[in-house]
Amino acid sequence: MLNEKHIRVLIAKLGLDGHDRGAKIVARALLDAGMEVIYTGIRQTPKMIAETALQEDVDVIGISILSGAHVPLISDLINQVKLNGMPKPILIAGGIIPANDHALLHEMGINIIFGPGTATPAIVDSIVKAIDDRPMRETTFE
């Protein structure tokens, strides 16, 4: 359980993905750990996710993607978040993301990438650590 921390997490299925079981399992685990979770559902566009993240003032945006279109869609999402002028959230991605795309996604701004089968306690711990390691909420993207 979290102590004193009020972590707001947006979980979204980016793109045309229709399979959301993993995203729902992660959302439930984060709720059980004491985080506030906003789940947007399937078939979300980068603009929809960025607008929801801004409106909900989230600390973390978690993207679940299985379609193989992760690089262009995440790039679009990051651009939309920048355009909205919101403080930089911690960005996490999970799903079917080939290891050879990880470095590029990290360069783009993704903080943490989870593969299939990642244990939910590891996801919770990674988010808590990322929040703890952030000295202050950054005001912009670098």
Q: What is the CATH number of the domain that holds 21?
A: 3.40.50.280
Bridge partners of 113?
A: 93
Question: What is the residue range of 95's domain?
Answer: 8-132
Question: What's the predicted TM-score (pTM) here?
Answer: 0.90
Q: 35 burial class (0-12, 13-18, 19+ CB within 10 angstroms)?
A: buried
Residue 52 domain-assigned (yes or no): yes
Residue 139 domain-assigned (yes or no): no
DSSP 13: E
Alpha-carbon distance 38 to 120, whole Å?
17
From first to last of its 142 residues, the chain has per-residue pLDDT tens of 454 568 999 999 998 877 889 999 999 999 999 999 999 999 999 999 999 999 999 999 999 998 878 999 999 999 999 998 888 899 999 998 999 999 999 999 999 999 999 999 999 999 999 999 886 655 556 6
Alpha-carbon distance 10 to 83, whole Å?
18
Residue 138 domain-assigned (yes or no): no
Q: How many CB atoms lie within 10 A of CB 32?
A: 12
Count structural domains, the chain.
Answer: 1
Between 46-56 and 70-84, two packed helices, what is the crossing angle to 10 degrees? 40
Residue 142 domain-assigned (yes or no): no
